[in-house]
Amino acid sequence: MSAPVSMSSKKRPPAVRRVIAAPRKARDPRFDSKCGTLDEQQFQQAYGFLDEKRKAEMKQIQKRLKKVKNAERKQELQRLLQSMKEQEKAREQKARQREAKVKRNKMVKDSKGKYFLKKSDQKKLELLSKFEKLKKSGKLDKALKNRRKHNLQKDKAAVGTRH
């Protein structure tokens, strides 16, 4: 009863066949290897002007923060400013890592061998560069004072928890 329908092979099929096209898949060029790799140095050269715009925007937000009376709006602006500062720190950290990588590659080329710093040595170098930066800006004494306070509080807390 439910046999397939039989058709004559002598009869021609209809001239126009309706073909349903498959929907095109969207491609995000950021994650597509066909679009090439990211060259961070070239990216920085092309979009370096955005750093200046961000700094100007941060100054503008700081000015607005001083004028705002509404507590909620003030808190929102503070969060935005803090977020922008953290992003700036992250960008600087990435730049330092890039510089260290370039330096490491140069050392490898010169000595013709692999060279990797231990994590502890990397941290020491980062701390050293941080102190140099603070010394240049004249904020080293204040930073050291805060560091001592922090360590004192840590020691007090550690002594209080021992039995």
Decide if pLDDT at 162 tops 90.
no
The answer to whether 104 and 113 have CB atoms below 8 angstroms apart is no
Decide if pLDDT at 163 tops 60.
no
Q: What is the number of domains present in the chain?
A: 2
Q: Could you tell me the two tokens for 9?
A: 């092979």
The answer to whether 54 and 84 have CB atoms below 8 angstroms apart is yes
Q: Which pLDDT belongs to residue 77?
A: 94
Alpha-carbon span 154 to 90, nearest angstrom: 26
How much is the pTM? 0.59
DSSP secondary structure letter of residue 112: T
Choose among 99, 151, 104: nearest CA to 129: 99
For 77-106, the pLDDT digits (tens) are: 999 999 999 999 999 888 888 888 888 888
Q: Which pLDDT belongs to residue 85?
A: 95
Decide if pLDDT at 117 tops 70.
yes
* pLDDT confidence bin for 116, thresholds 50/70/90: confident
For 55-64, the pLDDT digits (tens) are: 999 999 999 9
Question: Is residue 158 assigned to a domain?
Answer: no
Alpha-carbon span 111 to 103, nearest angstrom: 12
Does one domain contain both 88 and 106? yes
Query: For residue 61, how many C-alpha atoms fall within 13 Å in the half-sphere facing its CB?
Result: 19
Question: Is residue 136 assigned to a domain?
Answer: yes
Question: Is residue 63 assigned to a domain?
Answer: yes
Q: Which pLDDT belongs to residue 1?
A: 62
CB within 8 A of 129, min separation 6: which ones? 96
**Full domain range(s) for residue 132:** 118-152
Question: Is residue 132 assigned to a domain?
Answer: yes
Across 124-143, average pLDDT = 88
Percent of the chain with pLDDT over 70: 96
Residue 39 DSSP SS3: coil
Alpha-carbon span 53 to 83, nearest angstrom: 16
Question: Is residue 25 assigned to a domain?
Answer: no
DSSP secondary structure letter of residue 56: H
For 24-70, the pLDDT digits (tens) are: 888 888 888 888 888 888 888 899 899 999 999 999 999 999 999 99
